[in-house]
Structure 1
Amino acid sequence: MMFLRLLAGLAAMVPAVPASAQNATPLFSSDAPLAITLTGPMSALAANRDGDSRWAATLAVTGERIPVQLSPRGITRRLKEICQFPPLRMDLPTRPTAGLFAGQRTLKLVTYCRRRDGHAQHLLLEYAAYRIYNLLTPLSFRARLANITYADPSGRALITRPGFFIEDAFHLAQRTGLERPRTGDMVPRSSLSAAHAARMAMFEYLIANLDWSMRGGPEGEGCCHNARLLQRPGQPGFVPVPYDFDFSGLVDAPYAQPPAQIPIPNVRVRNYRGYCLHNAEALAAAGEIRTKRTEIMTLLASIPGLSPGSLRKARAFLDPFWAQIATDATVRARILSNCVR
């Protein structure tokens, strides 16, 4: 597998630590891929994903062995008919005080969905989406790519596939000097930071993702859907921070479908969902992304294990977006004219 062949040679190619990694915990202070082993009852975990049961396991990485508890999480990818193995929540009962996982208590781990090598390409493109948003703002979730070997309790390796950890919201807030505000189930548009809401909406348009809301979440779960709200202490304006991009057109997962209320044929079709209230800030966000085009395309080419075919497909998918934001006039005519009123 290409990811496995490339991993060994990446240590000498790690780029300078980006601004979004400053003051990050050790796990998210670098973009160098990890090699880890998770040992535990993997078959039982995959077979029992409906409840909240936690399964004792061991995480091994760079000479460290850390006891952890694993439990299935997510919605779509948690379903057996969608994925052969679910995304995981990883709890560290004893918070490490040293080493790579120092300070971690709870982590989201994006795992392989299906065993076929081709499915890893969707995961790598989702990881790339996190990295792209890191280029746009430090107010973004960091992600750490890993080559994960899953082993049964006897230590027998079952499968090795790429995956990635997602920074916890608490650590994101701590790193950026923000706090997590208390909100109701639905927040008014006027309570959002216009600049940050516009940037998020334009980014989601870039990757063609419609599976989000920066104002509300699923019934009974509060705000928000595939986003977290942060706030600068003593200042108005909630900062929405997106995550979970597997339903985007950039990733193009085989199970992804557009929301039923949006009449488009597939997730590869872009549909702008930014608010007209934020059009001035959205115009500025498009200009910001325009200046990052070279960095974004270079980043895509640097994702370990991304196949030449996947890279060509991703580049071709982004080409129409670059044309739409080529000038302020094209942004107004081709994107902002479709804003949400």
Structure 2
Amino acid sequence: MGAVIPKGYKQTKVGLIPEDWEEFKLKDVLNLTLESLVMEDEKEYELITVRRRFGGVDSRGIFKGKKILVKNQFYVRENDFVISKRQISHGACGLVPKELDGAIVSNEYNVFQPNKDLLDQVFFNYYVRVPKFNQTFYSYSDGIHIEKLLFKTKSWLKQKIPFPPLKEQQKIAQILITWDDAISKQEALIKAKEELKKGLMQKLLSGEVRFKEFGAGTLVPSSSIEKNGTEVPAPGGWDEVRLGDISKINPKNNNLPESFVYIDLESVKNGTLLKESIINSDNAPSRAQRLLKKDDILYQTVRPYQKNNFFFKLTGNYVASTGYAQIRALESSEYLYHYLHPTFPPNYTYEITSTPKAS
């Protein structure tokens, strides 16, 4: 006896869906568009890029035609849905915002416009993030290495996907936009508080402001080294030491475990681990060398100005990219992390990033 189908739903190949939802081939709701241009050497063009993890469409900058090496480019318009053929397995897709209307992309991208009788483009931009839909991007990408997959657009467009009626799509999109707006406002508030915290950290960790029981007064300038390089004394009771004396930098590791969570430069943002992807050591990239222990500090040495450092407080098998310096404090690891991030003096940053080999 088959499973009971709830009232108001129907059974399809993709599972249970509401009765008034319909399955459409993607080619019926999306129109692949190519608005070509003839590039002029002295004319300026704005190029776009599409960020991974559904991070949206951004500007790559404005360039004269003679500076753009790939001449086969196409215009994009507001609310076009753009897919990066080589990065879509990582969620590189999104809607073109109003301010990028008239920008250009190469044929490394797919540009779609919706069939407005069947599809709301804002709804679709949310819908592709649903895990089942997101998985189709990976399923229809070919290649051996995860970073070199190529999207099979024509095959992807032939698959059937269930869609709610247009009015329901619009209602869903409206609700999700409202929530995004609320989240943005909350994030702005959090960011403001983070800036206040950074200022407090700068004063406390430099000794500019001290607790009464440990000392009094204000140190000017606040850093142990002024911008012009002139040394000033450390606060009373503080010792000046080398980082290598209080920590191990890039400690040597034995063989990597058979499988582990790999932390690359895109895994961390603002001190938070965004993703945990388990890989086998046989398929690991050559940069996977930093075998982590609890309380290790990862300090970003590739593009250190981004300050995507990480205090590792987890357990299990985790390996980080050599794009990070691995710092293992001999004591007070959490204090050292906050001292290094984000107020670390630039000349010390250089010493870490130019470390020739593991010590």
Greater relative contact order (CA < 8 Å, ≥ 6 in sequence): 1
Q: TM-score range by the shorter chain?
A: under 0.3
**Normalising by the residue count of structure 2, what TM-score does the alignment of the two structures yield?**
0.25
Relative to total residues, which structure has the larger helix share, 1 or 2?
1
- Larger C-alpha radius of gyration, 1 or 2? 2
Relative to total residues, which structure has the larger strand share, 1 or 2?
2
**Normalising by the residue count of structure 1, what TM-score does the alignment of the two structures yield?**
0.26
